């Protein structure tokens, strides 16, 4: 692969790590956020939902644009917008302003997410693509883990988002330099695609899997600090969970190509473990369960990330539009779960109902992955 392509392989990973930081940093300091803006747990959940709603809305233009333009150029535009809006978040003077800026930033962050995944799919093929999609997903959680670790100190200095935004600047520099590169251009067939032409049964089933793993991941990441505090656990459980997610996504991408099972059955096994873990969290409320099962659950929902993206990209020639569909479906579900979980926590004082919902979602994903693993459904049919 030529030198520009080697540099371009780094850019989506840097950009999405920065997006992960900005997405999750505030959740590491819920008390500071609530005190600064005089809000409750429901509003904390809404801050995540506002960003994820924008993640969903931006997938329509993202799917169309990736079918017409190089992902190099699109990733440049999206990453630059992400950096500017993330810095602006530190200057929000009211909760209304913060919520609006989170939504605007979410448009850029969601655009980077799907365009970056398409970028990876166009630069890699086969088992390498699955591994690289796992690394790509791992960078999201690595950024989140750094945000969780750094946020308590940064918020005391009056900043929170800007340091994470700066992580993307090297990617912007590379993308500016390589903006005329054509190695990430869409295929001739993909250039005639749309979200409708990219949709298939395989893409629909992959979407159900993504719904479960992303809704689980987002909700657990958003409330893990407050959940642990309810049981008197004040250690860095949030960092441990996201570090686990990072390792699981990267190693999951490797394991899915080394184990004697297909990507689809790898997804099925992981979602089965997730369902059991969330059911345990809903039923048992002991210190050992509180400390262990969130980490196990995050491991289970993180490991199949690369496999889901790889299965989706392989399902059609229109990989950009197909990935946009899956990202939209997952984040559509994920945007409501944090708000619902926060509201249930305010109303009942526990997270039992929220964990039960996540267990059910993962059971549905298990069924979808099993169907996806059948030869007849998983066989690609190109239009």
What pLDDT score was predicted for residue 381? 45
What pLDDT score was predicted for residue 383? 42
Output the pTM of the full model. Answer: 0.81
Structure-block tokens of residue 167: 């992580």
- In Å, what is the CA distance from 262 to each residue of 210, 276, 316? 17, 22, 17
Q: How far apart are CA 121 and CA 218, in angstroms?
A: 24
Query: Mean pLDDT across the stretch 31-36?
Result: 88
pLDDT at residue 110 is higher than 70: yes
Structure-block tokens of residue 186: 């869409």
Cβ atoms 306, 133 nearer than 8 A: yes
Place of tokens 């999951």: 252
Is residue 383 assigned to a domain?
no
Structure-block tokens of residue 83: 């950096």
Q: Taking the CB of residue 181, how many other CB atoms lie within 10 A of it?
A: 18
**Top mean-pLDDT range of 40-49, 144-153, 362-371:** 362-371
Residues of the domain holding 337: 3-378
**Top mean-pLDDT range of 125-139, 171-185, 197-211:** 171-185
- In Å, what is the CA distance from 244 to each residue of 97, 145, 302, 351? 33, 9, 8, 21
Is residue 219 assigned to a domain?
yes
Cβ atoms 210, 333 nearer than 8 A: no
Is residue 241 assigned to a domain?
yes
Confidence band (pLDDT; 50, 70, 90) for 230? confident
Half-sphere exposure of 158 (CA within 13 A, CB side): 2
Q: What is the pLDDT of residues 269-311, one digit of tens each?
A: 999 999 999 999 988 877 777 778 888 998 999 999 888 988 8
What pLDDT score was predicted for residue 234? 62
Query: Mean pLDDT across the stretch 155-170?
Result: 93
Place of tokens 């790889």: 310
What DSSP string describes 227-256?
Answer: HHHHTT--SSHHHHHHHHHHHHHHHHHHHH
Confidence band (pLDDT; 50, 70, 90) for 196? low
Is residue 106 assigned to a domain?
yes
What pLDDT score was predicted for residue 75? 98
Query: Mean pLDDT across the stretch 120-133?
Result: 85
We report the CATH number of the domain holding residue 257 as 1.20.1250.20
Sign, Cα dihedral of 141, 142, 148, 151: negative
Percent over 90 (pLDDT), the chain: 42
Q: How far apart are CA 69 and CA 185, in angstroms?
A: 6
Is residue 337 assigned to a domain?
yes
Structure-block tokens of residue 253: 């991408």
Q: How far apart are CA 264 and CA 50, in angstroms?
A: 31
What pLDDT score was predicted for residue 263? 84
Chain-centre distance of CA 100, in angstroms?
Answer: 21
> Could you tell me which residue, 187 or 113, shows the higher pLDDT?
113
Q: How far apart are CA 95 and CA 33, in angstroms?
A: 9
Angle at 164 (CA atoms; ends 101, 113), nearest 5 degrees? 70
State the chain's mean pLDDT as an integer.
Answer: 86
Phi-psi region of 317 (alpha: psi -120 to 50; beta: other; left: phi over 0): alpha
Q: How far apart are CA 7 and CA 284, in angstroms?
A: 48
Residues 6+ apart with CB under 8 A from 63: 114, 194, 195, 198, 320, 321, 323, 324, 325
Structural domain count of the chain = 1
Is residue 229 assigned to a domain?
yes
What pLDDT score was predicted for residue 100? 97
Q: How far apart are CA 332 and CA 215, in angstroms?
A: 9
DSSP 192: G
């Amino acid at each position: 692969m030529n030198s520009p392509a080697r540099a371009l392989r780094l850019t989506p990973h840097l950009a999405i790590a920065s997006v992960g930081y900005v997405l999750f940093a505030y959740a590491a300091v819920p008390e500071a956020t609530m005190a600064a803006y005089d809000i409750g747990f429901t509003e904390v959940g809404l801050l995540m939902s506002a960003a994820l709603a924008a993640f969903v809305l931006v997938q329509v233009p993202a799917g169309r644009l990736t079918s017409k333009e190089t992902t190099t150029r699109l990733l440049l535009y999206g990453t630059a917008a992400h950096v500017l809006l993330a810095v602006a978040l530190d200057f929000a003077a009211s909760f209304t302003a913060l919520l609006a800026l989170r939504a605007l930033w979410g448009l850029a962050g969601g655009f980077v997410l799907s365009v970056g995944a398409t970028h990876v799919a166009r630069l890699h093929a086969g088992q390498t693509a699955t591994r690289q999609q796992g690394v790509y997903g791992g960078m999201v959680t690595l950024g989140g883990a750094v945000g969780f670790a750094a946020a308590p100190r940064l918020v005391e200095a009056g900043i929170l988002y800007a340091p994470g935004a700066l992580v993307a600047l090297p990617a912007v520099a590379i993308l500016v330099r390589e903006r005329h590169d054509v190695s990430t251009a869409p295929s001739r067939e993909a250039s005639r695609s749309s979200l409708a032409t990219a949709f298939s049964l395989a893409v629909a089933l992959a979407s159900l899997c993504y719904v479960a793993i992303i809704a689980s991941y987002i909700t657990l990441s958003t409330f893990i600090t407050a959940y642990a505090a309810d049981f008197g656990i004040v250690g860095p459980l949030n960092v441990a969970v996201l570090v686990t997610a990072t390792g699981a996504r990267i190693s999951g991408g490797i394991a899915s190509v080394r184990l004697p099972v297909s990507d689809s059955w790898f997804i099925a096994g992981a979602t089965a473990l997730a369902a059991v873990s969330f059911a345990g969290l809903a039923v048992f409320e002991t210190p050992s369960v509180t400390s262990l099962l969130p980490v196990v659950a995050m491991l289970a929902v993180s490991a199949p990330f690369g496999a889901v993206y790889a299965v989706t990209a392989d399902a059609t020639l229109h990989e950009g539009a197909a990935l946009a569909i899956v990202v939209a479906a997952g984040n559509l579900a994920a945007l409501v779960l944090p708000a619902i979980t926060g509201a249930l926590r305010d109303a009942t004082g526990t997270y039992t109902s929220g964990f039960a919902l996540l267990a059910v979602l993962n059971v549905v994903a298990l069924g979808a992955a099993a169907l996806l693993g059948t030869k007849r459904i998983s066989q690609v049919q190109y239009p």
